[in-house]
Amino acid sequence: MELRRELLTAEMVDPGTGQPARTTVEVRFDPLTGHSSRILPGRGLMPRSDLDLAEYGRQSQPDCPFCPGRIERLTPLLPARVHPDGRIRAGEAVLFPNLHAYSSHSAVSVYSPRRHYLPLGEMTRPLIADNLAVQVAYARAVMAAEPAARWASVNANHMLPSGSSLFHPHLQGIVDSQPTTFQRMLAEVPAGRFTAYLDAERRSGERYLADTGRVQWLASFAPVAPAELRAFVPGICSPAELSDDLVAELAFGLERALGGYAGQGFESFNCAIYGAPPGTEGYPLNLRLACRSNLRPFYRSDSTFLERLHWEGAVDLAPETVAGWMAERFGG
């Protein structure tokens, strides 16, 4: 498999010296979907922040509907045909319908009502595993209640720069009869291409991070967002098919990855686990994880016209650099 890239060169006259100058941009093409990304020279586009997020959390907590004393009163209940208890629980995690639904079946699950502020360095394996477990149970329950709803995903907007409207950290699950754009694109990848991509990345070694048992982790060759990682779970194609052991294994990888982001000073991330209908041949469950800009006064959003309107990532964190950060976290 070819991991295709092209180098673009921009020429200009340097305003300081008056001499000709050149700068380069590398365009990479995702070997699965064909989308392109631009790897920029290092420009410091993702600076650290000295904002006190714990203090912001304290200020936002009194009105938070996900905190103890309010979560039972202010969050809705699942229909009885989906779950008789109205909410799904595992450990400290609690799942309930999204009051502002994104699909015909849309759910929110908090890691813990007590954890209004949850920095990335404190995202432990048990917290992550329990929250994933309630999302898996939700996907199974919806599919059993409504057979036409076969497309499931588990998603995260962690902290405000990621698009979250609430400070309290949570996951969001979607189960629907229609796929999202990326779900459809990934499900249409020809059989065998995922295996070829993973084999090529394993041979290269530049971005491959770990095989944790049944889950393979790597830095994305053609990222759509900063410091993007990808994971693949061969043998299953829907979150509804995740066993307890696989949930624990995914939680281990996410703990490692989020700890790596925290080590670089990042505080916000997005995550998507893209499911296809159970039984989709040749499709491994896909995960994509990326950090987001840090909150700071007059901070710069990392989402620009390229990402939002051209569907093309533009990052100044080279995937090979990101793999270098993460290798030790994954035991490499």
Domain hosting 206: range is: 53-329
- Of 121, 117, 137, 139, residue with least CA distance to 129: 137
How many other C-beta atoms are found inside a 10 Å radius of the C-beta of residue 121?
Answer: 13
Q: Quick check: is 5 in a domain?
A: no
- Of 168, 61, 56, 153, residue with least CA distance to 112: 168
Q: Quick check: is 6 in a domain?
A: no
- pLDDT for 235 equals 96
Residue 134 is given by DSSP the state H
Q: Quick check: is 35 in a domain?
A: no
Could you tell me the pTM of the whole model?
0.96
Q: Quick check: is 228 in a domain?
A: yes
- Main-chain dihedrals φ then ψ at residue 287, nearest 5 degrees: -125, 140
Q: Quick check: is 36 in a domain?
A: no
**Domain tally, the chain:** 1
- pLDDT for 332 equals 66
Six-digit token pair at 296?
Answer: 């700071």
- pLDDT for 268 equals 95
Q: Quick check: is 7 in a domain?
A: no
- pLDDT for 48 equals 86
Close Cβ partners of 106 (under 8 Å, ≥ 6 residues apart)? 97, 98, 172, 173, 174
- Give me the tens of pLDDT residue by residue for the chain, a chain 332 residues long: 989 999 999 999 999 999 999 999 999 999 999 999 999 999 888 888 888 888 888 999 999 999 999 999 999 999 999 999 999 999 999 999 999 999 999 999 999 999 999 999 999 999 999 999 999 999 999 999 999 999 999 999 999 889 998 999 999 999 999 999 999 999 999 989 999 999 999 999 999 999 999 999 999 999 999 999 999 999 999 999 999 999 999 999 999 999 999 999 999 999 999 999 999 999 999 999 999 999 888 888 999 999 999 999 999 999 999 999 999 999 86
Q: Quick check: is 276 in a domain?
A: yes
CATH number of the domain where residue 302 is located: 3.30.428.10
Residues paired with residue 88 on neighbouring β-strands, in sequence order: 95
Cβ neighbourhood burial of 53 (10 Å; 0-12, 13-18, 19+): middle
Contact 192, 282 (CB under 8 A): yes
Antiparallel, parallel or unpaired: β 170-176 and 151-158: antiparallel
Q: Quick check: is 203 in a domain?
A: yes
